[in-house]
Structure 1
Amino acid sequence: MGSPHIEIYTKFGCGYCTRAKRLLESKGVSYEEFDVTFGGDRQKEMMERVPQARTVPQIFIDNMHVGGCDDLMDLDRTGKLDMLLGR
């Protein structure tokens, strides 16, 4: 089983984004980061993928939307994040 493909949409100066990235880094996984600070195509893409999204980060693991920072932390607390990461 290979490493999961992780995507995270972020904005500059976002503390929640930093927390989420630190958690992923502590798990030893890499991620693809898309900065949507100034809108543009990546923000449009994020809104197409998660129409109800109004905040960042928005996190995807293997194309499955897992939510934002609090959602990622909850997955970690319950042990489900490790399962999603193939551990």
Structure 2
Amino acid sequence: MPEVVVYATQTCPFCTMARNLLEGKGVEYQLIDVGNDRAMWAELQAKTGRNTVPQVFVGEHHVGGFDDLSAADNSGELYKLLAG
């Protein structure tokens, strides 16, 4: 299974929903808290072109935020990404 990385903050409800979705599927992931790290936040923004969290990556594939993750789950795309 490719590595799953979630960029998030501690107070973001969409971040919590993304983590809950992944955990509900038994997916292990690396959580990177960008809430108090301006440099990491700037790096994330440069990497994704977005200024919101969560931002979810499966391997090198940028899934996007919670809405994108949920849509990928509903369409079956998330399963394909996780299968590698």
Identical amino acids, percent of aligned pairs: 39
Query: Quick one: which amino acid aligns to residue 63 of structure 1?
Result: E
Give the superposed CA RMSD: 1.4
User: Which position in structure 1 is the counterpart of 2:16?
Assistant: 18
Deviation at 1:44, TM superposition (A): 2.6
Higher percent of residues as helix: 2
User: Which position in structure 2 is the counterpart of 1:59?
Assistant: 56
Q: Helix, strand or coil for the counterpart of 1:23? A: helix
Q: Aligned residues, how many?
A: 84
1:39 corresponds to which of 37, 40, 43: 37
User: Which position in structure 1 is the counterpart of 2:7?
Assistant: 9
Q: Give the distance between the partners of 1:29 and 1:6, measured in 2 at CA.
A: 8
Q: Give the distance between the partners of 2:27 and 2:2, measured in 1 at CA.
A: 8
Deviation at 1:12, TM superposition (A): 1.4
Q: Give the distance between the partners of 1:12 and 1:46, measured in 2 at CA.
A: 16
Q: Give the distance between the partners of 1:6 and 1:40, measured in 2 at CA.
A: 22
Q: Helix, strand or coil for the counterpart of 1:85? A: helix
Q: Deviations over 1:2-58 (max 9, x none)?
A: x211111101111100000111111111111111111333213212211x2111001
Q: Which range moves more in the overlay, 39-48 or 28-37?
A: 39-48
Q: Helix, strand or coil for the counterpart of 2:69? A: helix
What TM-score do the two structures reach when normalised by structure 2? Answer: 0.90
